[in-house]
Amino acid sequence: MASIRYRNKLYQVQIRLKNQSLSKSFLTHQSARHWACMQEARILKEDNPLYKYKPKSLAEVLIKYQNCVLTKKEKGHPDGWVVKAFLRLVWVQKSLEQLSVQDIAHYRDERLKVVKPSSLHRQFFVLRHALNIARREWDWDVPEGLLERVRIPLKPLKVIRRLQAKQQEKLLSTCLRMGRNDIYLIVLIALRTALRRSEILSLNWKDIDLKNKVFTVHKTKNGHYRSLPIANDLYSKLSVLNNEGEGRLFTLSANAVRLAFDRIRLKAGLKDIRFHDLRHEAISSFFEMGLTVPEVAMLSGHRTLSMLMRYSHGQMYHIFKLFEKSKN
């Protein structure tokens, strides 16, 4: 089995198992232990194909999730902070045999004293996703139903904020007045395409076909690329900036955009507006253009049509238009 010793400012792992001998050094004890567990599981799996690795704790699941899943997300992604916060908790370090529903329920009760149910839902979503990945993709022996038995208050239905034309103009003009032409273009893209912030920041010049007025987004939330038309006002801005298809469209980090946008919206007197509201506004405008739910889903990237039902005001607008046409 594995032994770990600290020597010369490194954690040295030595494994002797099933006539195999492995060794490696790490900067942290956590990394050393994780590697040792993975190697032992691999050796045992080779010896017995039906063997399933049983993680020592929920923390071990989260560490691998952090290293294998979250590293594929944009730097500073909120899920990374959720995992780091979980790893600081005592009950997450417990062995899975000792971990109880009461531990999780107690955590829920304490968190609800300081955060909204929507925040807790997000945290539990990350935890649930990590456990599902461990079971389905890594073939780990992880208990099922642990989180499902803990009731979390329902999230209040989100109100879809609409940005009036004057508010949009105010936001865009404030970007220019503050000398943030880059944020101006990011906001304009969000309002015209419904792209998420991460999707906008992933764009390269080669993804933009100015000749045919089409965007192609490759790095999306659900992993499915999609193409979108370029609106006329957006086309005129991109045409001026076109640098012959080289490099990224924006070199800003997600956090830099968030901070800049916060300063701009406050300066514009739009303190209740969030960046994601730009996507909501774009989707609502798609419905008002007369597009159907499947057509809007193709543009927005929603994989389940039920998610678009939140934009009922847009659907009703479309239905009323159809009724008006039928009367004429």
pLDDT digits (tens, 9 = 90+) for 293-309: 888 888 888 777 666 66
Please state the rounded mean pLDDT for residues 269-297. 87
Q: Do the beta carbons of residue 76 and residue 253 sit within 8 Å?
A: yes
117-136 helix and 78-87 helix, angle to the nearest 10 degrees: 80
Please state the rounded mean pLDDT for residues 189-208. 91
Where are the chain's structural domains? Answer: 1-51, 56-156, 165-282
Model confidence at 243, pLDDT cuts 50, 70, 90, reads low
Digit-coded pLDDT (tens) for 8-18: 889 999 888 88
Model confidence at 312, pLDDT cuts 50, 70, 90, reads low
Model confidence at 127, pLDDT cuts 50, 70, 90, reads very high
Q: What are phi and psi of 142, to 5 degrees?
A: -120, 130
pLDDT of residue 96: 84
DSSP secondary structure string, 44-108? HHHH-TT-----SBHHHHHHHHHHHTGGGSPTT-HHHHHHHHHHT-TGGGSBTTT--HHHHHHHH
pTM of the model: 0.59
Q: Is residue 167 predicted with pLDDT exceeding 90?
A: yes
Please state the rounded mean pLDDT for residues 85-104. 90
**Beta-bridge partner residues of 3:** 14
pLDDT of residue 311: 63
Percent of the chain having pLDDT more than 70? 87
Gyration radius of the chain over CA positions: 25
Please state the rounded mean pLDDT for residues 191-215. 90
Digit-coded pLDDT (tens) for 35-81: 887 787 778 777 777 667 788 889 989 988 887 788 767 667 788 88
pLDDT of residue 270: 92
165-282 domain in CATH 1.10.8.420?
no
Model confidence at 219, pLDDT cuts 50, 70, 90, reads confident
pLDDT of residue 309: 65
pLDDT of residue 177: 95
Q: Is residue 321 predicted with pLDDT exceeding 70?
A: no
Out of 14-18, 89-93, 151-155, 172-176, least confident range: 151-155
Mean pLDDT of the chain: 83
Residue bearing tokens 């076109």:
242
- Amino acid sitting at position 262: D
pLDDT of residue 240: 81
Give 156's Cβ-side CA count (13 Å radius).
5
